[in-house]
Amino acid sequence: MAFAAEPFKVIGGFNYQPILANPTLRRISQTLDVELQGTQETAGQIVHHLQIGSAATQRVTELLKESSLLIVTSSRDELLVTLANIYNLPEYSHLLAGLVIPGVAKVSAITQKILDRSGIPYMRTKRTTVSVYNTINDDVSKLNAKDTQKIDLVMELADKRFNFNAIDALLG
């Protein structure tokens, strides 16, 4: 309707889809150029919220939103341990997509064991928290060839919304 007076015709499209608009853990690891510790299944997890874990541990857990990726500095052992432990609790599993752990300080040996045993997907980088946050937020590409859930949705929406005969006619 907005383009009705324009000299061109709009012949298809689809509405905003959070699944398409938000990155996967795989995409974030590529954007940050770091290895994702996790399975192929968790690599495809879509991140709907990016949060910085700078508040007190209890407050961070209260602020978790659906499929959150938390940025938690390497010196926050108590928060890393708590998040690793709640990752496998049913009431938190849908809230916590994974972690990005920035900082030059090493994660303590016991915290590292807890992270690894929990199975929580995480990425480790020497970047600063601000750099990580800005890099993820500034990335506009949200799709790659391995994101089968997103590709399937694009194909499904295209079949429903696009008039391919009209597109072919325009292209001659």
CATH code at position 112: 3.40.1390.20
Taking only the tens place, the pLDDT of each residue in 122-154 is 999 999 999 999 999 999 877 778 888 888 888
How many domains is the chain partitioned into structurally?
1
Q: Residue 27 and residue 46: Cα distance in Å, rounded? A: 9
Identify whether 168 is part of a domain.
no
Report yes or no on 6 lying in a domain: no
Q: Is residue 169 part of a domain?
A: no
Q: Which two tokens stand for residue 9?
A: 């015709």
With cut-offs at 50, 70 and 90, classify the pLDDT of residue 157: confident
The answer to whether residues 13 and 2 touch, using CB atoms and an 8 Å cutoff, is no
Residue 12 lies in a domain: no
pLDDT of 12 reads 72
Q: What is residue 60's predicted lDDT score, i.e. its pLDDT? A: 96
Summarize pLDDT for 47-105 with one digit per residue, the tens. 999 999 999 999 999 999 999 999 999 999 999 999 999 999 999 989 999 999 999 99
* Backbone angles phi and psi of 70, in degrees to 5: -100, 135
Amino acid residing at 141 = S
pTM, rounded to two decimals: 0.83
Instruction: Report phi then psi at 8, rounded to 5.
Output: -120, 165
The whole-number pLDDT of residue 39 equals: 84
b/e 102-119 (16+ beta carbons within 10 angstroms → b): bbeeebeeebbebbeebe
Cβ atoms of residues 43 and 96 within 8 Å: no
- Cβ-contact 25, 136 below 8 angstroms: no
The rounded distance, in Å, linking the Cα atoms of 61 and 98 is 13
Query: Within 13 Å, how many C-alpha atoms sit on residue 110's CB side?
Result: 5
The boundaries of the domain holding residue 109 are 18-163
Give the whole-angstrom CA distance, residue 25 versus residue 13: 27
- Average pLDDT score, the chain: 91
Between residues 134 and 14, the one the model is more confident about: 134
Overall average pLDDT of the 103-128 stretch: 96
Structural domain contains residue 30: yes
Q: Answer yes or no: is pLDDT of 120 > 90.
A: yes
The answer to whether residue 171 is domain-embedded is: no
If pLDDT is split at 50, 70 and 90, which confidence band does 158 have?
confident
Q: Which of 24-38, 61-75, 100-114, 150-164 has the lowest mean pLDDT?
A: 150-164
pLDDT at 164: 86
Q: Is the dihedral of CA 75, 33, 100, 38 positive or negative?
A: negative
Task: Quickly state the pLDDT bin for 24 (edges 50, 70, 90).
Answer: very high
Residue-level pLDDT at 166: 83
Query: Is residue 109 domain-resident?
Result: yes
1: pLDDT strictly greater than 80: no
User: Is residue 4 one of the residues assigned to a domain?
Assistant: no
